[in-house]
Structure 1
Amino acid sequence: MNTSIQPPPVLAECHDISEKIELCENYGIYIKPIARLNITIQLPSNKNAGQTISFPEIVDKLKQLILPDQFIYLRVIKSSLEFIRLEGEVENKSSFKNLLSKLENVTIKLSSYVDVLKVRAAEAKIVYPNRHDWDSFFKDSIIPNDELKPGERADTIHLTDLPCKWFADKKMYSPGTDLMLIKPSEHVLREIFSIFGEIRLIDVPILNNCFTQLRRQPAIEVLTSTGMLNLPTFEAYIQYKDYIGFVKAMDTFRGMKLLHIDDQKNAFTANIRIDFDRTKHLSDREIKKREIDKLKAIEIEKIRNATIEREKERENKQKELTNYKAMLDDSIEDDDDRKAGMDEKSKEQRRREREEARRQKRLAKKQQEEEKKLEQKIALEERKILIAQRKLESMRLLEELFNRVKDKVEQEENEIRQKQIEEEIQKRQAEEADLEQAKKLKMEQEEAELKEKIAKNLEKNKEDDEEIEHFELRKDTVIQSESKSPKQSSHDGVVLPPRSVLLNNPKIQPIQVKPSLYDDEPSNEQKSDGEIDTVNESQNMSASSDHTESAEPHN
C-alpha cells in the first residue's frame, strides 16, 4: 500500500475573498478563517492478498462528491490497513456545513475493491497554542524566568513562512525586480502588527547580513493562473510592551490564515505558522549573545577578506617578477646578437654591460625591498589576525566571567532570600509561642478568678443555709412553746415581739427584762440550759400575745 504523505501547501491562490478581515489595507494584508476538514475512509476487513489502493482515485472520487465546491488541497495524513485519513481545505467557512453534509456517511466504489467504502467527515482540529500553554511553559521551565524582564515572559510571537514580497517596502523595489532579491521591511511589519499593541522590538534574522545565508528559508512554489511562482519566505520575532498586545495578536490569528491582495487584485493565502517564542529570542541575554556572534562573524569576514587580498597581491607581484625576468632575458639576447655583428663598438658594448649590471643590481635591490615590504605587510596582517583572535577570546572569557558572576550573585540573592524567609518563619513561630504563652497565662488567671468567685459563692450559700437552718430551728421552738404554754407571765425577764414580726424577721432578738422583787426566782439547779432557753422564749411569746390582746380593746 502506498503511504506517501505530501505536506500541505503554504501558499495558494484565492478565488473568494468574501470572508476577509482587514489588518492593513495600505499593504493589502488581511486574514481569513481556515476551513479545514478530516475525511476518513473505512476499509473492509476482508482483503485479498496483493490488493492495492490508488490514492489519486480516492482524491478524484472525493472531489466529485463536493462539486461545485473545490478543495484548495487534499492530502493523505495517515494510512493503515483499517482506514485512510485525509486532510482537505476549502475556500469558505460559510459553506463548511454543506460540504460536511455531502461527505458524511456516503459511500464510494473503487475499481480495486468489490465492496463499497464508507466515508466519514468532520471539522479538523487546528493545532494552535492557548493561554495555558504559554503560562505553563514559562512557569514550569527548568531554567528560572524573570517575569519582569522582556523576552523571559509571554510577550513575543514567532511567525514563520511569511512571504518576503508581501512585507517589502514598495518604494525600494521596482515591479520587475527579481523575487529572490526582495527583502522584507521592519517598518512594514511594525506598521501592520502595531494594531494589537505597542511594539517594543522586532527582529528579522534574514535582514542581518551576517546570518542571511544561515537563516534564509527556502522559496515556496505557487501555482497560479499565469504560471509557477517562487516566493521566498522569512521568519520574524515581534515583542510587545504589554501582555495585552501579545494576547490580542495570538487570539486574532487563532484559526486564521494570511490573505494578500496585490495591486492587480490578485489574491493569495498563506498558511503561516504562529507560536509564542519558546527560545527567548528577544531576551537581553540572547540579544547580547547575537551581538557577540555578529562581531565574531565580522572579524572572521575581515580576516578572510584580508587573506584573499594578500593572496591577490602576492599573485600580482609574482606576475610582475615573471614579466620582468622575461623582458630581461629578451634584452640579453638582443645584446648578444648586436655584439656578434659589431666588433668595432666593443667599448660601447662594455659600457652598456656595466650599465646593465648596475641596473640589475638596482632591480635586485628594489626587489629585495619590495619583498621585505611584502613580508612586513604579511606580518602586520598576521598581527592583526592574532589581535582579532585575542579579542574574540577575551570577549568569550568576559562573557563566561559575567555569566559566572551573575550566577553567583543570583545564588547569593537566593541564599539571602531563603535566610530572610527562615528568619521570618522563626520570628513568626516565636510570636505565636509568646501569644500562646500569654493566652495560657490569661486563661490560668481567669480560671483562678473564677475559682475564687465560685468559692465565695459557695461560702455565701453556706452561710445563708446556716441562717435558714437557725431560723427554722427557732421557728420550731417558738411553735412548740406556744403549744405548751399559750400565756406566760413576763416576770421571766424576756419580752418577745409578736409572732408575725418574729417569723418575718428572724434576726430580731427577744428583749431581756430584769426580774422584779416579787418574781419567783427559777431554780437553776433543776433546769438545764436548753430548758431555760425554751422557757424564756415561751414567756416572751406569751408576753407579746398578752400585749397584743390588751391593745385590741383599747383600739
Structure 2
Amino acid sequence: MSIQVCRDPCDAVALYLPQRLYLKSFAKLNISVQLPTHKVHGKSISNWELMEKLRKMIQPDSFSLLKVTKHSSEVIRFEAELENREKLDRVLSRLEDRIVQLNDYPDPLKVKVTEAKSDFPSRHAWDSFFRDATDMDEMKPGERPDTVHIANLPIRWFVHERDLNEDSPPSENLCKKVFEKFGSIRQVDVPAADPFRMQMKSSMRGITTPPQDAQLYFEAYIQFSEYVSFVRCMDALRGRKLLRKRDDIAEWCTLQIDFDKTKHMTDAAVKRRAIVRERLVARQKAKEEEERQEKERVSKREAKERQKYERTELEKLEKMREREEKRKKKQLAKLMERDEVDLNSRVADERRKLLKEQKKLQAIRLLEELFKRIELRPDLRRIGHKPERYYTAGERSARARIVDRMKKQQEDALEAQRNHLKSALDGRIVIRSALETKKPRRNSSVSSDSSIEEERQKRIKTERLTTPEREIQYKGMYGMPAYGFGYPFAPVPHFAYHPQSMSIVTLLIYLA
C-alpha cells in the first residue's frame, strides 16, 4: 500500500511522460517454513533471524519486500516481492526445499516457496459477473464492463507542478490524460476532487479509501467508450505497479484495481450526483450570503457603538476642558488677589523706565553731535593747552569709539526695556482675555470654534493697537521717531558752543 523506493527501474514501461509515470512488473512469492512437531523446552524461533537467513539464500538477488503473514505452532509464512519477474525462477530454485538452521534452535527447518496467486480480476470474472447480474443492462454505460476502479493512487503524482501544495486535490483532467493511452475515455470521476462529495450519502460517494489514507491516496473511476479499451487497460495494469521517476530516485506503489460493480458511472448515478451537488452549492452560497449579511450587521452595529462611544468621549473631553478653563480662571483670580499684582502699575513703571532709557540715549546722541561740531570749529582749542595744538586723529577716533560704545549699550538697554514693556502689555491682554472668555457651547462645530478664536485674536490685536502704551513703540519724544535724533529745544543757527559754556561734567550730570 505504501510508496517504496525502486532500486531496479530498468524494465519500466512509459505510461505518461509529462508526469514521469511508468508501469513496472513485479513478482510476489509465498514462503513457508515448516516447524517441527515436537517442541524444544525453553527455545523460541526468531522471525528476524529467519528473515535474514532467507535473504542470504537468494544472494546476489534481494527482496523488495519481506514480511510475516502468519506465525503458528506448525508453520511460519512470509510474503515476499521481487522487483523484476526475470529473477523469479532463479529465486524459486534457490529457496525450494532448503534447510534453515538457526543458532539457538537445534532442529533444522524446511523451506517451501511458491509464486503467489494474483488477486487481479480476470476477463472471465467480469464477463460472468455482468452476464449473471439481473439488474444490469449491457446496453447502458456503467452497467457493462467498461469502467475501471483504481484505488491507492498517490495524490502528489496526479497534481500539476504549478498547483502542487499540501492541500491540492488530484486533477481529473490529468487522470484522463494518463489513461487515454489505452483508448477513448467517456468520463472520469475522482471523488477526492469533489469538495461536496463527503456531504452526499455513502451510497453516492464512491469512496472506499480509509480515512487515515485519504490525505495521501485517492481513487478514480475511469469509464472507457469501448470494451476493447477497457480490456487493454486491465491487461496493461495486471501484475504491475505504478512507478514515478524523479531526478535522483524512483518510487513505486501497488495499485488496487477492479472493475466497477456498483453502477457508479451510470448516467442516472452521474445525473443524481450533479443534482445533489447543485443543491449543496446553492446551500453553500446561501450560507455564505447569510454569513456576509451577518458580518455586515455586526460591522454596522459596531460602527454605531463606536460612534456613540466617540461622541461620549468627546462630550467628556469637552466637559473636562470647560472645567479646566474654570479652574484656570479661578486660580488666576486667586493669584492676582493673593499677590496683589497690579498689572497697570507694572505697565506704568515699565513705561517710565522706557522714557528714561530714551532720554539717556538722546543725551548720548547729543554728546556725539556736540563733539562733531567742536571738531568742525578750528578756532576751538583744548582748555589748558597751548593754542597751537589741535586734536589729533587718534584722540578723535578714541573719543568716537567711547561714544559708539556708550550709544550701543544704551540702545541695547532701550531695546530690552521695550521688550519688558511689551511683555507687561501682553500679560495684561492675556489675563484679561482669559478672564473674559465666554463659555463655549457644547457639541459646537469646528467652524464655531474657529470663529470664536478669530474674534479673540481680533480683540487682542485691536487692544494692542489702541492702548496708549503701544504708541511709545512708534513715536519718540517730542514727536520724533524712537531711533531718530531729536533736540529738547530747537538749536540756534550758527550757535557756537564755547568750551567754558558746557563742560564735560555738566554733560555727565545731565546723563545721570
TM-score of the pair, normalised by structure 2: 0.57
1:191-212 deviations in whole A, cap 9, x for unaligned?
3322322211112222323348
Alpha-carbon distance in 1 for matches of 2:318, 2:5: 81
* Residues 321 and 55 of structure 1, relative CA distance in 2, 3 Å threshold: farther
2:268 is aligned, of 277, 285, 288, to 285
1:219–1:232 Cα contact (<8 Å) kept: no
- 1:409-429: CA deviation from partner (whole Å, max 9, x where unpaired): xxxxxxxxxxxxxxxxxxxxx
Give the SS at the match of 1:139. Answer: helix
Q: Is the alpha carbon distance of 1:139 and 1:273 closer, same or farther for their aligned partners in structure 2, counting shifts above 3 Å?
A: same
* Structure 2 residue matching 1:281: 3-state secondary structure: coil
- CA deviation after TM superposition for structure 1 residue 276, in Å: 0.4
Instruction: Report the counterpart of residue 273 of structure 1 in structure 2.
Output: 256
Task: Indicate the residue corresponding to 1:246 in structure 2.
Answer: 230
Hey, what does 2:155 align to over in structure 1?
A: 164
**Contact 1:40/1:86 (<8 A) preserved:** yes
Question: CA 1:108–1:59 in 2, change beyond 3 Å: closer, same or farther?
Answer: same
Letter in 1 for 2:442: R
Distance 1:291 1:25 in 2: 33
Aligned with 2:22: secondary structure?
strand
Structure-1 residue corresponding to 2:296: 313
Q: Is the Cα–Cα contact under 8 Å of residues 58 and 94 in structure 2 kept in the other structure? A: yes
Question: CA 1:327–1:21 in 2, change beyond 3 Å: closer, same or farther?
Answer: closer
Give the structure 2 partner of residue 38 of structure 1. 30
Distance 1:332 1:273, change over 3 A: same
* Partner residue of 1:189 out of 166, 175, 183: 175
Structure 2: segments with no counterpart, 5+ residues: 200-204, 330-434, 446-512
Whether the 8 Å CA contact 1:206–1:216 is kept in 2: the answer is: no
Which residue is 1:374 aligned to? none
1:315–1:55 Cα change, 3 Å: farther
Give the distance between the partners of 1:236 and 1:149, measured in 2 at CA. 20
Q: Determine helix, strand or coil for the equivalent of 1:94.
A: helix
What amino acid does structure 2 have at the position aligned with 1:189? C
Higher relative contact order (CA 8 A, sep 6+): 2
Q: 1:321 to 1:250 in 2, by over 3 A?
A: same
Question: Partners of 1:34 and 1:212 in 2: how far apart?
Answer: 35
Stretch of structure 1 that moved more, 319-328 or 193-202: 319-328
Q: Name the SS of the counterpart of 2:120 in structure 1.
A: coil
Distance 1:22 1:326, change over 3 A: closer
User: What SS does the aligned partner of 1:316 have?
Assistant: helix
Contact map agreement 2:101 2:108 (CA 8 A) in 1 = yes
C-alpha displacement of 1:166: 3.3
Shift of residue 218, structure 1, vs aligned partner: 8.0
1:107 aligns with 2:99: yes
Give the secondary structure class of the aligned counterpart of 1:39: strand
Q: How many equivalent residue pairs?
A: 332
What's the RMSD between the two structures over aligned residues? 3.4
* Partner residue in 2 for 1:80: 72
Alignment CA distance shift 1:298-1:76 (3 Å): same
**TM superposition shift of 1:157:** 0.4
1:519-541 deviation digits (Å, cap 9, x = unpaired): xxxxxxxxxxxxxxxxxxxxxxx
The 1:118/1:216 distance shift into structure 2, 3 A limit, reads closer
Matching of residues 252-263 of structure 1 within 5 Å:
252-262=236-246
Task: Report the identity percentage.
Answer: 37
Report the Cα distance in structure 1 between the residues aligned to 2:302 and 2:40, rounded to whole angstroms.
78
Deviations 1:376-414 (A, max 9, x none): xxxxxxxxxxxxxxxxxxxxxxxxxxxxxxxxxxxxxxx
Q: How does 1:349-428 map to 2 (within 5 A)?
A: 352=442
Q: What are the equivalent positions in structure 2 for 1:83-94 lying under 5 Å apart?
A: 83-94=75-86
Residue 149 (str. 1) matches residue 131 (str. 2): no
CA distance in 2 between partners of 1:100 and 1:273 (Å): 26
Q: In the TM superposition, what whole-angstrom CA distance separates every residue of 1:277-305 from its partner, at most 9, and x where no partner exists?
A: 12222111110121122123212322332
The answer on whether the counterparts of 1:339 and 1:346 sit within 8 Å (CA) in structure 2 is no
> CA contact under 8 A between 1:160 and 1:272: conserved in structure 2?
yes
Cα distance per residue 1:212-262 (max 9 Å; x no partner)? 8996968999xxxxxxxx993322111111111111211222212223333
Q: Hey, what's the Cα distance between the residues in 2 that align with 1:11 and 1:164?
A: 12
Q: TM-score, normalised by structure 1?
A: 0.53
Alignment of structure 1 residues 156-555 onto 2, 5 Å: 156-170=147-161, 172-173=162-163, 177-178=164-165, 180-211=166-197, 232-262=216-246, 264=247, 266-338=249-321, 340=323, 342=326, 352=442
Unaligned runs of 5+ in 1: 1-8, 222-229, 356-555
Range with bigger deviation, 64-73 or 296-305: 296-305
